[in-house]
Amino acid sequence: MDQNKVIEIINKEFGRKVSPSVMYAKIDEWRGWLDGNVKGFYEYSMTVDVVNNKTAKIKRRRTDMFKRACEDWASLLLNELTKFELNDTDTEEWLQGEDGRGGVLGDNDFRRNANELIVASRWAGTAAFEVYIEGGEAVVDTGELINAREVGMNFLSGDQIIPISHRNGIIKEVAFVSDFTEDGKKFQNVSVHLLENGFYTIKYLVIDENGKLVDDGRTVKTGSPLPWFSVIRKAGFNRYESAGTFGVSILDGNEDVLLGLDSAFDNFIVDFQLGRKMVFMNSSLFSVDGEGKFLAPQMTGTQLFINVGDKLRGDKSLLEEYNPVLRVEENANGVQRMLDIFSFKIGLGKGFYKLDEDGMVKTATEYTGSKQTLVRNVAREMIGIESALKQIIEAVIWIGANILRAPGVKDTVEVRVLADDSYIVDEYTERKVWQEEVAQGLRSKQEYRERFMGESPEDAVKALNVIRAESGGLSSLMDEPEPEVVVEAEPPIDDTE
């Protein structure tokens, strides 16, 4: 992807003075670590024949822990327990359906794509959501958008983002770039989001591989004061562009740690390969075929008697075995030590990963490491994640209310993002605490089923009534009717501020 050519077009077409960011080169570098394509490390040359000075290319084994760590970070920041709550039922059902998995968000597979976008923000430092409309109609002369058929979303990594203007690191105007190929030729789709008199206008462009503008596309005057995009930036200081808009990868400054981890893992594998049993045999044990090639006794089918002249079997000059020590424990300890350093350095805390008996790296089930480090870091990252999620959901709702004119959708609703906090207490421990509180009357069984079984209030009540009917209960034995469970009403969200 050539951001420089896109920037030249933006400056020329819109009279801006955008400069290429140094972060694109860093993102390419981090992508190399992600793909295992770091020159001189994951593939290197080694001398295999000292006499004839022959070398061979060796491929280093890797743990792929950079990718794994990004995915684990994403599962902490956005997962199936993350909730989006609105103080209006009609708007909420339009946005995400009755079960929280449908609606506009479901049509765009939002949860899966958003989770993968957070993965991208961990390895690249920055990522973005972009909203667009399909089947839109605009006034011909002015380009003012009057209606549309549906809402779509794009999910973009850091190298696809070109900031145009910002304030205190918050992007106000931006261009998003996507590569595509048509008839064997490479092109770039560009969507430019600009502010005009307090409202956003989007200009769509197509640029060829030579940097020539081949289609200035269409202009959409959204009429929206809200941006149709939001940016996720990893928390932390950017040493390369401190006043800019980009975040840095979780790997930034930790490249040597990943190098050490993969070196330890590679040495573990190589030790097994080089540790195979070897047998050194005296040439007198070999026979010679018609072409003068030496044949070991086993190759000629000899199993019982071998003529070795006057030498005995116990003579070390005839045969000697070599059984190298594999150093399994030392290698495993080395890999585990590097895993501890790696997990600590990327913010997950020491002890987050455990090398099991099968040599597989797993997340520690009983995480007794520096959990407070993880709690603090997740809380810090959630500030940016919640802000980006709220901003893009508000943009979707604004489009639903003002462009699609969906029945009942209001753009004045309050949006709340409720993050999953199960990383603080594991589910088994939390279940035990809830069970004790239910037994003490501090919580209801309905609450318990909603929390741990993912049921709606109505489904939880139905299940509890079925259980009561099947079990009969003590009250039925005493001929006393047991009261039917009713749905517990949730307190309304106060939006009068």
What CA–CA distances, in Å, run from 124 to 104, 142, 162, 390? Answer: 27, 38, 14, 22
The pLDDT assigned to 477 comes to: 46
The pLDDT assigned to 305 comes to: 47
Is the separation of the CB atoms in 231 and 127 below 8 Å? yes
**Cα–Cα dist 153/109, whole Å:** 9
Q: What does the radius of gyration of the chain's CA atoms come to, in whole angstroms?
A: 32
Is the separation of the CB atoms in 193 and 174 below 8 Å? yes
In tens digits, the chain (497 residues) has pLDDT values of: 789 999 999 999 999 999 999 999 999 999 999 999 888 888 877 776 666 778 888 888 899 999 999 999 999 999 888 999 999 999 999 999 988 889 999 999 999 999 999 999 999 999 999 999 887 666 555 666 666 788 999 999 999 999 999 999 999 999 999 999 998 899 999 999 999 999 999 999 999 988 899 888 788 899 999 999 999 999 999 999 998 999 999 999 999 999 999 999 988 888 777 666 666 666 666 777 777 777 776 656 555 445 555 555 455 566 667 677 778 788 889 999 999 999 999 999 888 898 776 556 666 555 545 577 888 899 999 999 999 999 999 999 999 999 999 999 999 999 999 887 766 666 667 788 889 999 999 999 999 998 888 788 888 899 999 888 887 654 554 455 555 555 555 555 555 44
**Cα–Cα dist 122/34, whole Å:** 11
* Domain range summary for the chain, segments of one domain joined by +: 3-48+81-247+382-402, 277-323, 436-497
Q: Name, in order, each residue with C-beta under 8 angstroms of 489's C-beta and a sequence gap of 6 or more.
A: none
The pLDDT assigned to 322 comes to: 66
Q: How many other C-beta atoms lie within 10 A of the C-beta of residue 310?
A: 5
Judging by DSSP bridges, how do beta strands 170-182 and 185-196 pair with one another?
A: antiparallel
Please tell me the number of Cα atoms within 13 Å of 298 on its side-chain side.
Answer: 2
**Cα–Cα dist 70/119, whole Å:** 5
The pLDDT assigned to 478 comes to: 46
In DSSP terms, 157 is beta-bridged to: 127
Enclosing H/E stretch for 309: none
**Cα–Cα dist 259/51, whole Å:** 31
**Cα–Cα dist 342/461, whole Å:** 46
Is the separation of the CB atoms in 227 and 233 below 8 Å? no
**Cα–Cα dist 271/244, whole Å:** 46
**Cα–Cα dist 232/237, whole Å:** 15
Tokens of 233: 């930036």
Is the separation of the CB atoms in 35 and 62 below 8 Å? no
Q: Name, in order, each residue with C-beta under 8 angstroms of 232's C-beta and a sequence gap of 6 or more.
A: 117, 118, 121, 126, 127, 128, 129, 384, 385, 388
**Cα–Cα dist 175/245, whole Å:** 13
Nearest CA-CA partner of 129 in 104, 149, 146, 94: 104
Rounded to 5 degrees, φ, ψ at 89 are -65, -45
Q: Name, in order, each residue with C-beta under 8 angstroms of 150's C-beta and a sequence gap of 6 or more.
A: 104, 107, 133, 134, 135, 404
**Cα–Cα dist 240/221, whole Å:** 35
The pLDDT assigned to 291 comes to: 78
Tokens of 60: 């280093």
The pLDDT assigned to 73 comes to: 95
Enclosing H/E stretch for 10: helix 3-14
Q: How many other C-beta atoms lie within 10 A of the C-beta of residue 93?
A: 17
